[in-house]
Each structure stands twice: as structure tokens, then as C-alpha cells.
Chains A and B, each alone.
Chain A
Amino acid sequence: MFNYILQGTFTGLIFSLVALGYTLVYGVLRLINFAHSEVLMTGGFAGYFYLHYAMSNQTVVQSVWLSLFFIVTGVIVSGIAGTLVAIAIERFAYRPLRRRNAPKLAYLISAIGASYFLLNLFGKEFGRYPEATTQPFSNHVVVTLWGGQFTMFDFVILVAALLLMVILDFIVSRTKMGRSIRAVAMDAETASLMGVNVNRTIASTFALGGFMGGAAGFFVAINQGISYDMGFKPALLAFTAAVLGGIGNVRGAMIGGVVLGIVMFAPIYWLQQPWMEEVIAFSVLVLILLFRPTGLLGERLGRSA
């Protein structure tokens, strides 16, 4: 029982990271960023190539410090790749529409288009077959708790995700950038009258979400390898997590990911049907929408983050 909860927590942390991207963009633009899955994918590819070349096919990393170095730099490289892609998405699929005052429908469609474009461009460029990533650390079982085996990867994820989220929370709630993000989230028009550069704020929101998404991509790449469509499933689950926590709410997204991870994990192990995880996540999504549409923590970026 407890090991399921822990196992779910570790899985859910990745969702949390991705969900942050959804929630930030939603808070500012009131839009679901359908292209966010490709941010994750790009992060994964960047991580793959970084490890591939930086480690030049070492199979076992000799020292702990070297492992740590590869993980930290890998997260940064992936995060930056995600940031760049997120900014590009904002620049090409969102900003031209904002200038035209386009209806929401147009944004959603354009984001889907951008997502498909990127997805298939990567598929074309790097082939359409999955590939395993070079491991920056040896992924052995570290402890056995309540009958569940917890690997190195779980702990890496735990530490890294918590660290990233603490940093993000700090940025959003303490820095100038965070203040302008919250201001735009509350009321873009007033914020712009107060001298906030709305375009730049939106871009920085995408960038922040992109960094988190890219970093999540790095971990997904290590864990499951990469392929051009690796972003789709985690992103769908992460969106569910964002809604679960209360979309637009940064802390809600963090908690939502973990809760979703736990909710999903247990039935899969009990029923021994791994394909059911999407079914469960989807049912969770519909149930939240039915009974608590504002999510666990409510919907406001401006207020609660």
C-alpha cells in the first residue's frame, strides 16, 4: 500500500513538472497550450544528445560527482532546449494571433498545428523509432520499503523535481518577473497600464513553463528513452494533473501531479493491466470536472501562488 503511494509520488513528480507549464500559460492567457507536449519532447531529445556526446558512450559512470555533474548539466541543457521551443511556440503560434485579437478557438487550433509540426519535424529529422538514452548513473535498487523497490532514478527525480519546483515557486512569488506574471494573470489590461510589458511577460511565462517541461523531458528520456511522440502521453496526464490541482494555480499543479501519480499507480498494480493508466487518468479528469471543476486548490494564479 505505502509503496504504491511512494511509487506514485515519484511518477507523479514528472507530471507535476509538466503540469507547471500548462498551469502557468493557462494562468496568463487562459488557454490550454496544446504544444506543451513538444516542449517535453524537445527537452528529451536535447538530453539524449547531450548525454550521448558528453559521455561519449561510457556505459558506467565511475564517480558519484561525475553522475551528479551530468544530471545537473543535463537538466539545464534540456531545460534550455524546452525554453527555446516554448518561446518559439509563443512567438510563432500565439503572438501573431494575439495581435489579431483572435478567438480562443484559433489559438487552440494553431497550438495543435504547432505541436504536430514540431512532432513530425523531429520524426523526420531523427527517425521515427524509439531510442534508449545513455544513463548518467547506474540505476540500481537503493532501498526496499514496504515491499516496494525504489531505484536510484526515483531519488534523483525526487530531489531534482523538488528543487526545481522550489526555485519556480520562488521565482513566481518573489521576483519581479513573477510579480509581473501574476499581474498579467489577474488582469492583463490593467497590468499593461501599470507599465508591465505584457508580451515579454507572456514570453517569460512560456519560458518558465518550457524550462520545467524540458527538464521533465530529460527525466522521461532517461527513464523510457526517446522517440518523436514521447511527449503526448505524459502531457495528457500532466494536463489532467493541472486540472486536478486547479488549473492556473502553480502549487495546485505540483500537488495535482503527485496526487494523480498516486491515484493512477495503485489500480495498475492491483489489476495488472498497464494499459489502463490512461483510462484511469481520463476517468479522473472527467470526475474532477464533474464534481470539483476548480480542482483541489482552486483556479487562481494571482492569488494563491
Chain B
Amino acid sequence: MSSEIDTTVPWYKKLTGDDYRRVATGTAGGAVLAVMTGPEGSIAEPLYALRASLLTAHVIGYLIFGIAIGCLLTYRAKIRDGVWKRRRATPRIPMAEKMAATSGPARSIALGGSGVVAVVAALLIADFSGPYVSHKASLHVIAHQFLYTRTYGYLVLALAIWFTGANQVFHVTNVRLRSLPKWSILVGALVGSLLFGLTADPFLRPRFSWHAIEPSYRDSMFHHWPTYLWVVLALLLALSYLRKRNSAAPMSATPRRRALVVTPSMRVLTYLGAGFIAYEAPKYLSSYWQISLYQQIGIFCLLAVGLNVVVGFAGLLDLGYVAFYALGAYTTAYFSGALPLQPPFHLNPFVVIPAAVVVAMLAGVLLGLPTLRLRGDYLAIVTLGFGEIVYVLANDWTAVTGGSPGTLSLPTFSVNLLGLHYSWNPADPLSYYYLMLGVIVPVIVLFDFLNNSKVGRSWAAIREDEVAAQSLGINALKYKVMAFAIGASTAGVAGVFTAAKVGVLFPATFVLQLSITILVLVIFGGMGSILGVLVGAVFLQWLPSYLTFHSYLGYQESDLLLYIGALLVIMMIFRPQGLVPSKRRRREFIDAELGLGSADALGAITQEQPS
């Protein structure tokens, strides 16, 4: 443990077997990546995929990537062990300060270069977020893409950001944002937002391109919701900025610590913005994305938020989550009379929701009680088995479930109450989307309340130290079963929504793979954090749809689970708390690393029985 680093021996002579192993591992990882992304093989030609992918160019890239990762890991380990000298011994100087200190030609290059980078970035974003065009090579097409309004918008935005940034760093003009009078900031915000609303509405169809000469009522700027949204956003932003300036934040803090300060107005603004985007954006999407927004993203957000209660809040592992989803779907089918087994009376899907909640919850309690009494990790395998059983029953118990051909012609949602008649049309995905929004938002709010209540705190206590929690009178079994049942009933609700929208049920939907997929949504975003789980669900459900849609990226749908498996392992090794972690959960993982408490609830509950 000497702090002195021996500098007489050259660095490469200090490499040990461990380091070579690291680089080799990285290289092997690169090869695996190459195979993962390579062509499909077959049993008749074993190792075809390997050979074929080794011959293509992209494998070289992956190998280099793998080797680089291996080298980086080696570097990190060497620094950690104090064998190598850290390359950068002096503390890091913020980029802005470094740039401000430059002078002469370097300065102009930095200034101009950053401007070019901003423009290119804006163009790329505009192109990326634009409609898909297949013949990118044609100048005509490129020009067409650039004439979309959103391109101008992103350009204006990028230039504004670039100018503000450059001005703050290089003092291009005498005007600093901080020194501007109040009115100019307000006016600037207003003008900027109008300009933005006019050109850059990312959801609007091209207005200035040759495709959209006729301005319809809806496209008119002042009759368009997003315009008002932008104005409100800009004003709120300007106000919160002014308030922050008036309160004269202490500048003594180091640049790193001057992080975003969340003021109440900003929080309101965020909710408003999110609400608006959730309400408005889908209207401008193509029907592929509208359908996917409901079936791929909406349902899975609901499922993930439900599983989050089990995995994130209670710290349990449920691998048969889809079984409850299936229960919800089949309950809907049963009460519509579509199954071979006839119900005593028929019910509208809306009325089935509580029934599905009860059925799924009962199943959850019946399964959870005996299992959770013992040991949390048995729950994983018992639910795995349960999921398999439900699938087998759906697939093979023909007399009740209709078997593998599936169930057709399920009813859709409709309201027929007190003179009010409305029936959701399966051909109109948006109406379902709003219905889903009407379920998912309350669910999120309720679960958030739950997590910040006595119940949520009790879960946290059980996760960390079950013995201590019990010594305070917390009934660990009750809370575990409660979490399990709440998760199950959420899945049941999602099942009703799927059945009523899609109109058909196939047992093959409800396989274990789906449970794992949902688990990944929760893990990726950050277990325990509702926002994280939503981010994870939206992103990971959107990405495969996007990649499938844009087939040029060489993504094969059948490989999804391959990537998901790899993602699970990598997340657990490098970032178990997820991308947008909950504060509590992150803390728990750190504590666990230090040997304080656990971060799950997989221990035994029973009274210890000495033998």
C-alpha cells in the first residue's frame, strides 16, 4: 500500500497477467458483439454467423472497441492499485475556463469550430427526428429534408445556444446575460418563443416546404396549442431566471456545484410541459407510431410501473409478472363470452377492470403468502413456475381458454351511461391513447403517494434491514405480499387494456420472455424511481420499434432478447441503480457495497427456529 509510484520501471513492464486477461476479455467481448449484431446462423452450418461476421468490416470496429474497453479497464485498475501514474495529475480545469484563457488564432478556431459543431448538430438532429427518407444519397432529398420547418427551428436554437455560450466564455460582445435589464430578458423570451413556435415546432408538418403551401386552420400558428405552450414555457423560464438572479446566488461555489436549482416554478413548468407534450405530440405522429404509442409504450409503461412496486419498492423479484397480465386479459375475454367457458353475465371492459384487479390480486396473494413466508428468492422461481403454468393453461386447456389458436372478437371499451354513448374505435389509436393516459397518470400519482407514505417507508425499512424493521413492529410478510399483490393487480389492469384494444388474445403473447422484457424496463430506468421506470419503458419500447421501422440499421427483431440479456448483466455490474435512479435506492446500493444493510427483501421472514 505504498503511495509512492515506482517510476524507474517503464509502464509497460508493470503489466501483469490480470491486465492481459482484461484486454483479452475486452477483445472477446468485441467478438461477441460482432456475432450478436451479425447475420443469423443455422444448425446446418454451425459457426456460420461467426465466420460471416468475422469477414465483414464491422467486426473490426467491434474488436477495436472491445480492445479499447479492455485497455481502459486496465488503466483504471492500474491507477486504482497505484501502479501507474495518473496521466492528469493536476485537478481538472473547467472547459470554459480553459477556452477563455486561449488567445489569438486558437480562440478564433474554437469560436468558429464550436459554431460549426452547433450547426452540424442541429442539422443532424433535424434529420434524425424528421420523417424517414430512404434515398439519402439524392441531393434533392437532402434539400427537401432541410426545407422542413423543424430544421430552421433547430438551427435557430443551436445558434442561440452557441452564441450565448460563446459570449459567456469569450466575451464576444460586451453584453452578458447577467447584466441585461429585466425587461429585455422578458421581451427576449417572448420573441424567442414566438419565433420558436413559428419555425421550430418539432411536431408540426413542414409549413415552409413546398409540400405544405395551404395553411390549414390547425397549422396556423396562433391557433396552435404548442405556440402557447412555448410562450408559457419561455415566460416561466425567464421569470424563474429573474427570481434566481434577484436572490443573488452565491458565486463562491465551485462551478461544478452550481447545478440546476429546481424552483417550484420550474417544477410546475415541467409538469405543464410534460402534460402538453403528452397531450399534443401524438396527434402529429403517423399511425404506426400512434398504434405503437398505445400498444408498445403505453401498456408497457403501466406494466413497468406495476412491476416497479414489486422490484423497486419492495425489493422482490417477480418473474411471472406476465401471468397476471394474462389473467387480466383472460378475465376480460371471459366476461365478454368469447371463451369456450361461458360467464353467467357479460360485462363491459370498463366494468371488468375491477374484476381483473380482484382476480390478479387474489392470485398474487395466494401465490405470495406461502412463498414469501419463507425466503424472498423462492418467490422468483415460484413466480417463474406460475408464469409457465398460466401460459400452459392458456395454451393447452382448450375447454376453458380456447387453447393456442387464441380468442377472437373481444369487445372494445364503450360507455353507455345516463344518455352518454361513446364507443372506442379500434381503428383510432389516439382515442385509446388518451384513455390509457387517463389510467396511467392516476396510477403514477397513486404509486408516488404510496411510496412517500408509511407504506413506502416500511418497504424501504424492510429492504434495508428486515430484522430491525420487524423489531419496530413492521409486519414484513404483510408488506411484501401487499407489494406483490399491488404489482399483480396493475398487470391485471394492463391485461384488460390490451385485450380490449387488440380484440384478440393469443397465449403465445404471455410467455416468460415478456416478463423479462418488463423487468428490463424497470432495471434500465432505475428500480424504485417512477420517473426512471417511465423513462426506461418509453425508451426501451420505442427503440426496438424505431429500429424495426428503419430496417436499414440491420436490426433483427428476433435478437431483441439477446440485447436485453446483455443489458441486464451490464446494468447489474456497472449501474445497478439504473439510469435515473431513485435517491433512496442509489444510496442503498452504495451502503450495501460498504457492507451496511441489504438492498432487497429476499431474506427469510420466519422466526428462526434453532434446531
Contacts and interface: CB of A to CB of B under 8 A. Distances in A.
B376 interface: yes
A254 interface: no
A243 B371 CA distance: 12
A101 B374 contact: no
Contacts of A240: 385
A273 B595 CA distance: 51
A114 B572 CA distance: 11
B392 to A, nearest CB: 5
Interface stretch (B217-225, B346-354, B559-567): B559-567
Contacts of A275: 392, 395-396
Contact of B561 (A31, A116, A278): A116
Interface stretch (B41-49, B278-286, B472-480): B41-49
B23 interface: no
Interface string A244-266: 00000000000000000000000
A120 B561 contact: yes
Given A32-B377, A112-B516, A124-B41, A104 B598 contact: yes
A82 B42 CA distance: 21
Q: Is the interface of B mostly helix, strand, loop or mixed?
A: helix
B15 interface: no
Interface in A248-305: 273, 275, 278-279, 281-282, 285-286, 289-290, 293
B427 interface: no
Nearest to B600: A105
Interface string A112-135: 111111111101111111010000
Contacts of A243: 378, 381
Given A105-B599, A112-B519, A92 B569 contact: yes
Interface string A154-179: 00000000000000000000000000
A117 B565 contact: yes
Interface string A84-128: 000000001100110011111111111011111111110111111
A206 interface: no
Interface residues of A, number: 54
Contact of A32 (B381, B523, B570): B381
A239 interface: yes
B317 interface: yes
B525 to A, nearest CB: 14
B43 A127 contact: yes
B374 A97 contact: no
A278 B386 CA distance: 10
Contact of B49 (A110, A113, A125, A279): A125
A236 interface: yes
A198 to B, nearest CB: 16
B486 interface: no
A104 B598 CA distance: 8
A273 B594 CA distance: 53
B380 interface: yes
Contacts of A150: none
B189 interface: no
A240 B516 CA distance: 21
Given A100-B573, A109-B519, 4 more contacts: A108-B380, A114-B568, A120-B559, A282-B386
Interface of B: 32, 35-36, 40-44, 46-47, 49-50, 311, 315-317, 319, 367, 370-371, 374, 376-378, 380-382, 384-386, 388-389, 392-393, 395-396, 512-513, 516, 519, 523, 558-559, 561-562, 564-573, 576, 588-589, 592-595, 598-600, 602
14 contacts: A32-B381, A49-B46, A97-B572, A103-B315, A105-B316, A105-B317, A110-B568, A113-B566, A114-B568, A116-B513, A120-B565, A124-B41, A278-B388, A286-B382
